Every structure is written in C-alpha cells, then in structure tokens.
C-alpha cells in the first residue's frame, strides 16, 4: 500500500499531489450533539476516566450517560510509585475524570494528578475533574492551634495553620485540569473552598438540591405532622446544609420543621444542643462521617434532650476505624449516606441500618450539561 505521507513523485505536480492527499483524507464529522441541538446519550466525543478511588461510581455515571469508562491502566509499583497509562485515543475529546480523594488520600490524589497530565498529553480537548469527595478540605475548618510567642512578644498569639486544600487546588490546576466539579464542599456555604481555585471554574453540587426525596422515602416522612421533625446540624460547618435540607423538606411535605445545632466543646469532647427536640424525631446532618465520634456525641445529646427517634444523613461516608461500631452504639434508626466514596462491603455488613444513595444521576446530569448546552 502506498502511504499518503510518502515523498511526492517528481512526475506529478506538487499542487496536484497535495490536493489529492487533502481530498482523500478523512473529513471532519459534525458533533452529534450539535446536529441534534441537545445532549446525545452515548456521544462519542465524551470520555469518562477514573483511577482506583471509586471505579464503581464512575461506572454508574458512565451507564447514566450510555457510554463506558475509558481504558486506562492505573497501578502502583512495589515501591509505591504510581503508573498511569491511557490505553485509548482521547484526541479532541471532552474528558471527565471521576476520582474522589478518599483514603488512601495521597495515593488517590497522585493518581488524579497523573491522570490529568496523561490525558492532557493525549491531546484531549478539555479535561474536567469530578471530585465527589475533596480530601484535605478539613484543614480549612479545623480549630487553629494557638501558640504564644516568646516573652518579648508579650501576649501576642500566632495562628499558624496550612491551607492544604488551597495547595491541592493549585496542584490540580497546574496538572492541567480546566474545570472542577465537587460535591458538598466543607465549609459549606461560606465560599472559601470555591475560592481556592483561582484559574479554573468550579461547579459545586449541593446534596440539599436532590436528597430530600430520598430522605422522605427512606425515613417514611410522608405522613409527617407539623413540628414532628427537627433537623439538627452536627457541628457549625454543617449548619448551612442543614438549613437548606430543612427548607427542601418543608417545601415538599408542606409542614413546619424545627432547626437545631450542636455546639462542640473540643476541650471536653462534649456536645451541647441548641434548640428543642423533645418528643420529636431528629434528622442529624453530617458532612464527613469518619471516626463516628461527632455523630455519636450528636445522637447522645439529642436523646438526652428527649428525641424519640434519631436519623442521620452524611455526605461523605469515609467510615474509618471503629466508625461502624460507634454508629451501632449510637442507636441510630437509619443512617443515609451518599456513595461519593467507595464503601467496603464489610462496612455495609457491619451497619445494617446504613442506606446508600447514589449520586451518579446528579453527576451524569451535570456532565451532560457541561458537555453540550443547547443553543
């Protein structure tokens, strides 16, 4: 077979040969979404990739979009070094990486950064990062330790803390991401997490916009009476989300619902309830369920103030060591969580009252809108 890239024959005028090559080359095919003026499920111009953090969620999102997860080999060598190889063409494609930075946080973060770089080097048209769970965000909201300066400084107090989330955001930008999608960033509603990304746009998904129907169904709230339920924020960083979920429940059920919050005492580890939950059902709103201590203390405080039944909702079920035991000890009627991180089957088995709600349809809907907006 004669290659079209071979040297041109001296018997043929150069201009004619160039025209022949141009004519025989493949013509650019119109974008199917542009032709239909709407998002076309299974669009070949859209690619989904993932690392090892939550491949199940990535597969569910791909199913919602009627596509498949892109071929990539992401593994570690014996010394822990991570290798990423993209095994299919992404040239000119709109690529989305679904990778929460959940435990093991540093491995999953490095996988994400290397995936971004590999896809950019594969000539992808646009690389967007979907962070169902954005690790390192807690460094922005934890208590800042105080340290007194030397005697010459008198009573001056120095606040020294790193903003690791801001550093991670810059890493993602430098790696080549052009857009970020994140779900229930901490500290919710204060604008600080979104401000960490200075050079690329960030889309925030709020669980309050979609989880109310799941809560009504799973907690059997359809027959709820006025003032029969109190939504409780487990700590200060969750108050914004608690208020929004309460408003959604009020709107859908057309009943009055109370609001309360827990004030934590870091010195004693105690939790004080601000609000009234006597003889009422309680729905505790959590952001990150990790050790389970915050949830346990919140449940104990609500029950001490007369709550009849306690439910919990958590955005990110990290479910670390002994968390399942603490949740069982708390005596929660039902624990509703999102599948933003991968939950091991052993953890699910250890928590029979755990209900997992998928965020795949919400993420897929946003990806479809980002991929193509009707003109």
Is 230 a domain residue?
yes
Q: Which helix (H) or strand (E) segment is 349 a member of?
A: helix 345-350
Residue 151 is predicted with a pLDDT of 46
- The answer on 367 and 320 residing in a single domain is no
pLDDT tens for 351-366 read: 999 999 999 999 999 9
**E strands of the chain, at which residues?**
46-50, 72-76, 82-86, 94-98, 126-131, 146-148, 157-159, 179-183, 202-205, 229-233, 258-265, 270-274, 281-288, 309-316, 334-338, 354-357
pLDDT band at 266 (very low <50, low <70, confident <90, very high): low
How would you class 121 by CB atoms within 10 Å of its CB: exposed for 0-12, middle for 13-18, buried for 19 or more? exposed
- The answer on 276 and 164 residing in a single domain is no
- The answer on 220 and 129 residing in a single domain is no
Count other C-beta atoms under 10 Å from residue 225's C-beta. 9
- The answer on 289 and 316 residing in a single domain is yes
Is 46 a domain residue?
yes
Q: What is the pTM of this model?
A: 0.87
Q: Give the three-state DSSP class for 373.
A: coil
Closest to 69 in 3D by CA, of 53, 55, 90: 55
pLDDT tens for 199-211 read: 999 999 999 999 9
Is 19 a domain residue?
no
Among 27-36, 53-62, 199-208, which range has the highest average pLDDT? 53-62
pLDDT band at 179 (very low <50, low <70, confident <90, very high): very high
Q: What tokens were used for 19?
A: 């025209």
Contacts of residue 27, defined as CB under 8 A and 6 or more positions apart, other chains included, come to: none
- The answer on 201 and 217 residing in a single domain is no
Is 351 a domain residue?
yes
- The answer on 147 and 281 residing in a single domain is no
8 Å CB contact between 57 and 360: yes
pLDDT band at 142 (very low <50, low <70, confident <90, very high): low
Is 104 a domain residue?
yes
**Is the per-residue pLDDT at 275 higher than 90?**
yes
The residue that leads in pLDDT, 144 or 177, is 177
Contacts of residue 145, defined as CB under 8 A and 6 or more positions apart, other chains included, come to: 160, 161
Is 258 a domain residue?
yes
Q: How far apart are CA 70 and CA 78, in angstroms?
A: 25
Q: Number of structural domains, the chain?
A: 2
- The answer on 266 and 246 residing in a single domain is yes
Residues spanned by the domain of 148: 32-206+362-371
Tell how far CA 148 is from the center of its chain. 38
Q: In terms of residues, how long is the chain?
A: 375
DSSP state of 227: T
- The answer on 173 and 123 residing in a single domain is yes
Residue 20 is predicted with a pLDDT of 41
- The answer on 234 and 201 residing in a single domain is no
Give the mean model confidence (pLDDT) for residues 54-58.
Answer: 97
Closest to 233 in 3D by CA, of 212, 262, 208, 196: 262
* Average pLDDT along the chain: 86
CATH of the domain at 325: 3.40.50.2020
Is 105 a domain residue?
yes
- The answer on 194 and 56 residing in a single domain is yes
Is 39 a domain residue?
yes
8 Å CB contact between 132 and 340: yes
- The answer on 239 and 130 residing in a single domain is no
- The answer on 306 and 192 residing in a single domain is no
Give the mean model confidence (pLDDT) for residues 103-117.
Answer: 97
């Amino acid at each position: 077979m004669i290659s079209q890239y071979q040297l041109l024959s001296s018997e043929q005028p150069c201009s004619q040969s160039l025209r022949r090559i141009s004519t025989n080359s493949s013509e650019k095919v119109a974008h199917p979404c542009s032709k239909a003026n709407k998002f076309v499920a299974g669009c070949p111009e859209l690619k989904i990739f993932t690392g090892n953090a939550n491949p199940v969620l990535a597969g569910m999102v791909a199913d919602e979009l009627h596509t498949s997860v892109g071929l990539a080999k992401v593994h570690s060598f014996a010394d822990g070094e991570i290798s990423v190889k993209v095994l299919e063409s992404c040239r000119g494609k709109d690529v989305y990486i679904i990778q929460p930075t959940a435990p093991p946080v540093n491995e999953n973060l490095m996988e994400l950064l290397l995936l971004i770089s590999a896809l950019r080097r594969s000539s992808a048209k646009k690389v967007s990062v979907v962070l169902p769970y954005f690790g390192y965000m807690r460094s922005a909201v934890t208590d800042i330790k105080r340290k007194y300066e030397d005697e010459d400084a008198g009573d001056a107090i120095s606040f020294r803390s790193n903003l690791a989330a801001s550093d991670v955001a810059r890493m993602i930008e430098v790696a080549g991401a052009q857009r970020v999608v994140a779900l229930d960033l901490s500290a919710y509603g204060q604008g600080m997490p979104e401000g960490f990304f200075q050079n690329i746009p960030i889309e925030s998904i709020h669980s309050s916009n979609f989880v109310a129907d799941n809560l009504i169904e799973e907690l059997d709230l359809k027959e709820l009476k006025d003032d029969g339920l109190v939504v409780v924020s487990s700590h200060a960083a969750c108050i914004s989300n608690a208020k929004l979920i309460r408003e959604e429940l009020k709107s859908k059920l057309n009943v009055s619902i109370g609001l309360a919050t827990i004030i934590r005492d870091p010195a004693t580890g105690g939790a004080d309830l601000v609000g009234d939950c006597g003889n009422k059902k309680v729905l505790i709103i959590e952001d990150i369920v990790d050790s389970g201590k915050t949830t346990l203390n919140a449940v104990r405080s609500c029950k001490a103030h007369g709550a009849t039944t306690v439910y919990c909702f958590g955005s990110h079920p990290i479910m670390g060591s002994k968390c399942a035991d603490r949740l069982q000890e708390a005596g929660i009627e039902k624990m509703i969580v999102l599948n933003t991180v991968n939950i091991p089957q052993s953890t699910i088995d250890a928590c029979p009252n755990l209900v997992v709600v998928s965020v795949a349809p919400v993420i897929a809907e946003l990806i479809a809108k980002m991929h193509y907006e009707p003109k």
